Chain A
């Protein structure tokens, strides 16, 4: 009996070990089963379920195309319900199997540890003949491992240091600003009427003959999807312009060499504009404002007051609404850029409600950098930024002021009370004078060197023999040329405003005159370009017909002329331009 008792006592650890081992096995098996269920549920959730969800997304997308039927809605609801039920079921399953897995793993670990404790082998110290030598070997091995670690770290560091720097913006900032300089802009046509808004091209190789009917001299012609009276702007090999209808506002980028439409940018119509139901005058249209670029980004504004910026690859960087403008004929002021800012002349209302603003928006974000309130009514002129005595001035025309502000902070520099009525022709800067037109009334020349109200002190001269209502003036340094809508050219001396000659072109014009290589370009609404020699006498050099009606002013590139017709954009010139900039 005693033997039996001793035997039972000796067997106890063995039985306990076997029990623990069996428990570990069972728990481990359960854990594997639960884990397999868990994984299969995960695959079902992440792989199979999304297929049905995609179908739901497709069905919803189909609905957006038109009015859904009750049957379609019922199908979608049914599928949506099924997906939700399935998802809830799977979530519930995941939770339950997760907890079951946890319990079985814990049980496995407890049993496994117990089995290990119960069956742990006794310590068996190794017999090491030479402990000292072994310790020396261990230390040597450790040192080599550390050296290997050092070499690995050094290698990784060397690889990273010698590879391209990951922060591209740092490199870009260290190599230059994120906008083009004034000098770079002078070689482009970056805004309405080119550099300084003066309508003067620096290139001498501008074509003088073409014919839309035969295609002579026309390099390419491409359709513009949406209408607009804005002019093209040019930056290197890209042409930008925009168009709009009541529902859509778009920006287009064309390849200057082939006329291919590279991208179309969408500018959403703001809800406020949709509600306001803007109805601009037909001659103005919904996209009269010419775009502007700072060499990195391109900006567009529409009659709705929606303004947007795009990069040169067509990515919309930002868009915002400046509020629906109250403009009698429809908003038409073009944009200007200064450094990385876009300048917006936002004159509206009748001047009594304090609505008009002059904005400088950050080109990268659309944030308002500064704004100036102007107690002036709506106007249709475009701002220009010109450098005068080494200092940039932002010049705007409105009723009754010609104004100059600092483009850096918006601070007013000078103002002259010299205009009235519906002011539309934009200012130009030529021969040290700012030239401003009051439609049907006069041309005034202001010396832009004063401070404060310069009405009494800095008006150089006034020419009272009328002024265009739409077209901007152009000057060659000696003379200023005015073009009235009904075709009358008026040439005055820049020095004192004395009239030099008058010439009637007997045509209608909304495009402003331009000057290139000593030649004047007058583009009529019928698409006829009259080219005349600049100088004290009118001397016509020729006429070229496009064959399509034109409202927008032309843009001048290197050896090329870009004209926007009512439906098409034309490039006139040679395939490879080889001119030089003066």
Chain B
């Protein structure tokens, strides 16, 4: 008998290879001369402005609905239904663009490039989930985000990720956010959009590398709940911090925690925190010294990160297309590479001087020096801050979702006996009426 798990593994292996098939090339047009006149290629019309407002409207409505379903109704099925709708609408229907995750870069570019005007819809997409998170926790992640939804949809057999591993992997998202902001600020690229792992699925097309990455993430997502959201999402980094400040957010129990432990392993994302117990006296002494050391270490890490970021300016600058072109032109001029590429041919056809290009690229390299220093300092600050936060004693008396990590999916509700009581009361109330 074939076991479902075997099918799962076989499917997983083949899926990784199979997504490459989506990247089929187009065949070149015939070279024979005929009477056929090839139509002039025209740029597609820009998307209708109306759709942007419709999207913003749908986002606002779904956020309100998500808030109600997650905090008031507390119904996982309805939350899941809303999530599927958002996956269908924002993902497959609207092709995964605009999304708040990529909008981080638009906002950054607006700040650093006076010539760039951010569309209103993009601004709404960036700001609205932040506002909702500030008041209601991560309701956007729970039911509206299409990237979260596609991962949630494939989660079949959740496996618990050890807390120590989770702490380390989460740092990647901070790095990714820093890099995304830096590259957008420099006008180099929208790295978050370019490496969006799921947009290829939403559009049923894409380059095979990203499709393979996306497929791998979905495969991992069958066992590890929402790996992109937890370990990679740069927007999630901002949402985490805002969610800590939220006044109303997800609670496991609708009333008081009775310490039944039933919800302990309910969360596939490892977001439920246990009540804490007092530390032994000896541990307090060690913790105090460690805290003092880490407080001293923090500025050192920031400084070292800044220095390293500055020193890496040439590597960082290589992301910028102009710098890459300058490098290519230099290599071609000095016969360090063979042949030319389209970009270098186009550059020469434009008649621009290579010295001009080198000067512009050198200037960009210098700007990357400043940006790299800031990025390095940010990374140093994140790592130092993380070490500090892991060295501080928390006080918790109940089982509760971690305000930063909780993705507001509503899975934990049904594990709570108090929730069953509440539902029972509701049903009885309905019967009485």
Choice from A35, A143, A314, A369 contacting B14 with Cβ under 8 Å: A35
- The distance in angstroms between the C-alpha atoms of A41 and B22, with both chains bound, is 11
- The distance in angstroms between the C-alpha atoms of A83 and B329, with both chains bound, is 37
> Is residue B43 within 8 Å, beta carbon to beta carbon, of the partner chain?
no
Q: Is A146's CB under 8 angstroms from B157's CB?
A: no
User: Chain A, 283-309, contact with B by CB distance < 8 Å: what is the 0/1 string?
Assistant: 000000000000011000000000000
Number of B residues with CB within 8 Å of any CB on chain A: 88
Q: Is B314's CB under 8 angstroms from A32's CB?
A: no
CB distance from B16 to the nearest CB of A (A): 10
> Is residue B354 within 8 Å, beta carbon to beta carbon, of the partner chain?
yes
- The distance in angstroms between the C-alpha atoms of A167 and B323, with both chains bound, is 8
Main SS class of interface, A: helix
User: Chain B, 274-312, contact with A by CB distance < 8 Å: what is the 0/1 string?
Assistant: 111111100100000000000000000100100010011
Residues of A within 8 A of B58 (CB): none
Residues of B within 8 A of A25 (CB): 2, 4, 7
Choice from A123, A131, A132, A150 contacting B415 with Cβ under 8 Å: A123
The B-contacting residues of A in range 107-156, CB under 8 angstroms, are 108-109, 112-113, 115-116, 123-126, 130-132, 135-136, 138-139, 141-150, 153-154
When A132-B277, A169-B361 are in contact, do A91 and B24 touch as well, CB less than 8 Å? Answer: yes
Of chain A, the residue at the smallest CB distance from B15 is: A35
Of chain B, the residue at the smallest CB distance from A86 is: B27
Of chain A, the residue at the smallest CB distance from B20 is: A42
Q: Is A123's CB under 8 angstroms from B276's CB?
A: no
> Is residue A539 within 8 Å, beta carbon to beta carbon, of the partner chain?
no
The B-contacting residues of A in range 173-194, CB under 8 angstroms, are 173, 178
Residues of A within 8 A of B330 (CB): 168-169, 172
User: Chain B, 184-221, contact with A by CB distance < 8 Å: what is the 0/1 string?
Assistant: 00000000000000000000100000000000000000
When A115-B4, A132-B277 are in contact, do A160 and B315 touch as well, CB less than 8 Å? Answer: yes
CB distance from B106 to the nearest CB of A (A): 28
- The distance in angstroms between the C-alpha atoms of A368 and B308, with both chains bound, is 42
The A-contacting residues of B in range 326-362, CB under 8 angstroms, are 326-327, 329-336, 347-348, 350-355, 358-359, 361-362
Q: Is A116's CB under 8 angstroms from B157's CB?
A: yes
A to B contact number (C-beta, < 8 Å) = 230
Q: Is A138's CB under 8 angstroms from B163's CB?
A: yes
> Is residue B104 within 8 Å, beta carbon to beta carbon, of the partner chain?
no
Residues of B within 8 A of A77 (CB): 32
CB distance from A150 to the nearest CB of B (A): 5
Between A98, A108, A139, the greatest number of chain B beta carbons within 10 A of the residue's beta carbon is seen for: A139
Q: Is A145's CB under 8 angstroms from B4's CB?
A: no
Q: Is A149's CB under 8 angstroms from B415's CB?
A: no
When A28-B11, A143-B390, A146-B387 are in contact, do A168 and B327 touch as well, CB less than 8 Å? Answer: yes
Complex interface: stretch among B65-73, B165-173, B425-433: B165-173
Choice from A139, A178, A318 contacting B390 with Cβ under 8 Å: A139
Residues of A within 8 A of B312 (CB): 157, 160-161
> Is residue A216 within 8 Å, beta carbon to beta carbon, of the partner chain?
no
Residues of B within 8 A of A94 (CB): 21-22, 24
> Is residue A315 within 8 Å, beta carbon to beta carbon, of the partner chain?
yes
Complex interface: stretch among A358-366, A394-402, A448-456: A358-366
Number of A residues with CB within 8 Å of any CB on chain B: 86
Q: Is B7's CB under 8 angstroms from A39's CB?
A: no
> Is residue B8 within 8 Å, beta carbon to beta carbon, of the partner chain?
yes
- The distance in angstroms between the C-alpha atoms of A158 and B266, with both chains bound, is 42
The 6 A-B residue pairs whose C-beta atoms are closest, nearest first, are A141-B164, A313-B335, A145-B168, A125-B261, A42-B21, A132-B277
Contacts from B to A (Cβ < 8 Å): 2, 4, 7-8, 10-11, 14-15, 17-18, 20-22, 24, 27, 30-32, 153-157, 162-168, 171, 175, 204, 260-266, 274-280, 283, 301, 304, 308, 311-312, 314-315, 317-318, 323, 326-327, 329-336, 347-348, 350-355, 358-359, 361-362, 365, 379, 383, 386-387, 390-391, 415
Q: List 26 A-B contacts (CB under 8 A).
A: A25-B4, A25-B7, A31-B11, A32-B10, A32-B11, A35-B15, A39-B17, A39-B18, A39-B21, A84-B30, A115-B4, A125-B265, A131-B275, A132-B276, A145-B168, A146-B386, A148-B168, A158-B308, A161-B311, A168-B327, A169-B330, A312-B335, A315-B332, A315-B333, A340-B355, A364-B355
Starting from the known contacts A132-B279, A138-B164, 6 additional A-B residue pairs (CB-CB under 8 Å) come to A60-B31, A112-B4, A132-B277, A168-B336, A315-B333, A367-B353
